[in-house]
Amino acid sequence: MRTITINTATPLPPQAAILVIYTGGTLGMGYNAQGVLSPLDFERIQERIPELNRFDYEITVIAFDKPLDSSNIVPNHWLILAEIIERNYEKFDGFVILHGTDTMAYTASALSFLFENLAKPVILTGAQLPIGQARNDARTNFVTALEIAGSRNGEGKALVPEVCIYFDYFLWRGNRSRKVESRHFDAFSSQNYPHLAEVGIDIQYNFSAIMPLPAQAFRVHTKMENSVGLVKIFPGMPEIFLEKALLENDLQAIVLETYGSGNAPTHEYFLKTLEKAILQGKILLNISQCYGGMVMQGKYETSKSLADMGVVSGKDITTEAAVTKLMFLLGQNLPKTETEKLLAISLRGEMS
């Protein structure tokens, strides 16, 4: 990894020190001499983004040696990001992670669970169009993420002490966010939780929605277990598929994406397959396929049987947060009953 320091506050003391971690993604691309998009040289970032010189910040950039397409992100990358932030936590006031959009919500969710008692902003951002294009969203997303990461109250405390996604004028809680657009700039949204800030002429913070500052010391967890499956229920699902997905593997947990408020088929083969999976020791988590609303097991007959057999209700958790929360909890090597108990409650504001 390469480290570059940009002191935009010279000759004055910086108002904030921000660590930028460039993992890859569209934002950090520019045209080279041959007219081909290639990773940006962050040593010349001020030439590309002269707005940086307006900040009274000291900005340090750590860039992955080989930028990652976010489709190739795996849990080990989340642990690397967590380790970088842990190592630099006391040196910086805030952190900005430049990341591809496709799995940004997974990374934001994973980091939210790995960071316990976070007291500083960790802002993920990216772009739909690269900074090397004349018309792009990269510049404003990056600059605004930096401003939010460096913003503090009159006591010098962070305004947003949590893992967030900033994109297209809105700041979202990371573990409540989903990518909802591939062609427009408003790529992220959160149907079940309000935005943390809206950016216009001013930045309007929604303080009632923002996590309070923690009373305990910052702690970074260092283990995840990816023995997790994801099954989306659909009409006419073949029995053989369900059996292979739930029974014929060594997975420790499976996320079930069900209909509406947590409803699923009541066919005998379906319910018996779920029961067998639970008897094998697997944890089953029920989440909704809908972007808005929540699982309410027992509201209808089609979900009551799931609750009765021990399927855990994910309430209004997103798919991204459900998968990464399970990976986090399984990594702690807790008893199954304790894992299921923690799965059903909010740990980092990921569910109501």
The catalytically annotated residue of 23, 101, 103, 339 is 101
**189 in a known ligand binding site:** no
Number of neighbours of residue 3 by Cβ within 10 angstroms: 10
Those residues with Cβ within 8 angstroms of residue 87's Cβ, 6 or more apart along the chain or in another chain: none
Q: Is 26 a catalytic residue?
A: yes
Pick the closest to residue 144 from 174, 112, 121 (CA basis): 121
Query: Rounded to whole angstroms, how far apart are CA atoms 255 and 246?
Result: 10
Query: Rounded to whole angstroms, how far apart are CA atoms 259 and 144?
Result: 37
How many H helices and E strands in the chain? 9, 19
210: left (phi over 0), alpha (psi -120 to 50) or beta: beta
**151 in a known ligand binding site:** no
Query: Rounded to whole angstroms, how far apart are CA atoms 109 and 46?
Result: 31
Structure tokens at 104: 């940004």
| Cβ burial 209-224 (10 Å sphere, 16+ → b, else e) | bbbeeeeeebebeeeb
Q: Provide the CB-side half-sphere exposure for 252 (13 A, CA).
A: 19
Pick the closest to residue 336 from 255, 228, 252 (CA basis): 252
**70 in a known ligand binding site:** yes
Helix (H) or strand (E) holding 30: strand 29-31
- Please state whether beta strands 283-288 and 253-258 pair in parallel, antiparallel, or not at all (unpaired): parallel
The catalytically annotated residue of 8, 26, 107, 258 is 26
Q: Is 273 a catalytic residue?
A: no
Active site residues: 26, 101
Annotated binding site for substrate: 70, 101-102
